[in-house]
Amino acid sequence: MPRRTILPSLTLAAALVLTPVPSLAVDGTAGAFLAARAAGSANDFVRVVPYLERLMQSEIAAPELRDSLTGSYLALGRHADAAAEARLLIEEMPGSSTGALTLMAGAFATRDYAAVLDLVEGGARTHPAADGLAMAWAHLGQGSMAEVFDAFDRVAAQEGMLAFTLYCRALALALVGDVEGAIELIEDPETGVADALNRRGVIAHAQILGQLERFDDALELLAAGFPGVHDPKIEAMRAAYAEGRALPFDLISDPADGMAEVMAVMAAAMRGGQGSFDAMLYARAAEWINPDLLDVRLMLGQIFVELEQPELAGETFGMIPADSGLAIAAAMGRAQVLDNLDRLDEAIAVLQDLADRYPDVMAAHQGHGDFLRRANRHEEAIAAYTRAIELMEAQDRGGDWPLWFARAVSHERAGMWPEAEADFRRALVYEPDQPLVLNYLGYSLVERRENLDEALEMIERAVEGDPDSGYIVDSLAWALFRLGRYEEALPHMERAVELMPSDPILNDHLGDVYWALGRYREARFQWRRALSFGPHEDLDMDRVRRKLDIGLYEVLLEEGEPLPHQEE
């Protein structure tokens, strides 16, 4: 589904802005309105609902407020309340896409295909593609095959909709038993349907291949689409096809499930930025139609994270069963939510449990290691990463450079430099020009005053790969500083601070460069800025204060470090 023009619903904040502020003389209404506006601006659906309900009982009740109330009910999964409000909303504001989406989802959820057709033919509008596909699936629900294909053809003619519409048509054919027709649509090289399939699309493709007894093709597809994935459904498909047994086509069980797939893809296409609110509504609609659509539940949790609603996100992730193929991703999501709530220890416990339940799944140990590293528990992180690397190599996937890089960082932080350097260099074997690895290894060598010429070359390559990274530009400047090339270091260091003006490390480094160039007043100014932006785990605040008291040279003498020399 391409990102195309959407008929947007009113966000909570937008609806409340469009509604006039009530007179303070209205008893209690102004307070409820302002509280609703604040909650709406924060996408706080739980808190906004009581205020909107109160406002809808007041003299300032307005369609825009009902639109927000309908959307908030839908966001919370309160289907009956959302449907009741949507029926009133469509009468008051016929153009409301929130009302149309809610009523459409409700009709599909109850398998009332006639109601879907009445809704769309009556002028309710959500999105041009969604409305057209809704008519196709509703006609299929009524057994009107000619109308089904006419509706698909109309949507396919819309810009950018050909591949997805053909995929929906293939699902419809497979549902009615025409697997030959379905595979012809999916594998047509001129339409690109197969190349555009999401996770569930690949499963559908494999199931259709199995129905045609093309078991080797199905196994090859699953191997390419799900390498190293722990998913009971995928494993059952692999086992059956390896034995030459076909499995039923059950990705969708009826036309309503087909429309749930449409809503899910719409949600995925809308995600990001201002589209997160609409994406959430479409995802809720998909889940309402097909409550077993766990991919959508996972996406909903991620959308709630984007909308800064961690409690709803955690609750949604927690509803994904532990034996699901998405359990690992859901646990990762829960851990991220807990970390965002400053509950890092609880997040680590979730991932420890995940690693215990899935001892042979690389991603479980890698995720556990990432959170242990975030908590500065580096020795434990190294153990988790080592297990992940063992599993990775057992799967002949030694080229996963981020895993080597992550373990290298923990080795370095734990004071195990030889092991860290070996891991950094192993990561570069697989990704020789990766800026993050080049920068970290190069900077570490600079700090250790080892192989400075090699370190400078690495950092220069890192800057070429990511010229707008303040940290990487800082590394280049710092390498030049360590080499005594202060005039060359200065423009790069100033550029780094320009890119990241509030970073205490970069400001501290700029102060050192200024001091080495004899610009003492500017140096002290930068050191004070560094202190104002601290603390930072990599900044020795007392050392910066000491530089302010006695200067850089004296501090270096106290530490037994070589003094900078001012270039001629």
Looking at residue 12, what is its pLDDT? 52
CA angle at residue 518 from 514 to 522, to 5 degrees? 45
Structure tokens at 248: 């039923």
pLDDT score for 18: 46
Distance CA 432, CA 511 (A): 33
| 141 class by beta-carbon count within 10 Å (0-12 exposed, 13-18 middle, 19+ buried) | buried
Question: At which residue do the structure tokens 């409700």 appear?
Answer: 106
In the block, which residue shows the tokens 């004071």? 415
Mean pLDDT calculated for residue range 115-138:
94
Q: Mean pLDDT for the chain?
A: 90
Q: How many whole angstroms separate alpha carbon 258 and alpha carbon 249?
A: 13
- Whether 22 and 33 have beta carbons less than 8 Å apart is answered as yes
Tell whether the model's pLDDT for residue 440 goes beyond 60.
Answer: yes
Q: What is the pLDDT of residue 567?
A: 44
DSSP code per residue over 511-565: HHHHHHTT-HHHHHHHHHHHHHH---TT--HHHHHHHHHH-HHHHHHHHTPPPP-
The conformational region for residue 374 under phi > 0 = left, psi -120 to 50 = alpha, else beta, is alpha
DSSP state of 125: -
Condensed to tens digits (0 to 9), the pLDDT of residues 98-119 reads: 999 999 999 999 999 999 999 9
Q: Identify the band that residue 565 occupies on the pLDDT scale cut at 50, 70 and 90.
A: low
Residue 14 above 70 pLDDT?
A: no
Lookup: tokens for 431: 């990704």
**What pLDDT is stored for residue 2 in this prediction?**
33
Predicted confidence at residue 8, as pLDDT, reads: 41
pLDDT in tens, 241-277: 999 999 999 999 999 999 999 999 999 988 865 578 8
Instruction: Give residue 35's pLDDT.
Output: 80
pLDDT at position 3 is: 33
pLDDT at 351 over 80: yes
Q: Give the lowest-confidence range in 3-7, 198-202, 472-476.
A: 3-7
Q: At what angle do helices 504-516 and 552-559 cross, to 10 degrees?
A: 100
Write the CA distances from 164 to 153, 185, 204, 206, integer angstroms. 12, 11, 14, 17
Q: Which residue has the tokens 């809808």?
A: 56
The first and second tokens of residue 193, run together, are: 């349907």
Q: Are 366 and 386 a contacting pair, CB within 8 Å?
A: no
Count of residues for the chain?
A: 568
Of 272-276, 418-422, 558-562, which has the strongest mean pLDDT? Answer: 418-422
Kindly tell me the sign of the dihedral angle through the C-alpha atoms of 486, 487, 489, 493.
positive
| Contact criterion met (CB below 8 Å) for 536 and 560 | no
Residue 555 has what pLDDT?
Answer: 93
What pLDDT sits at residue 27?
Answer: 54
What local confidence, expressed as pLDDT, does residue 272 receive? 66
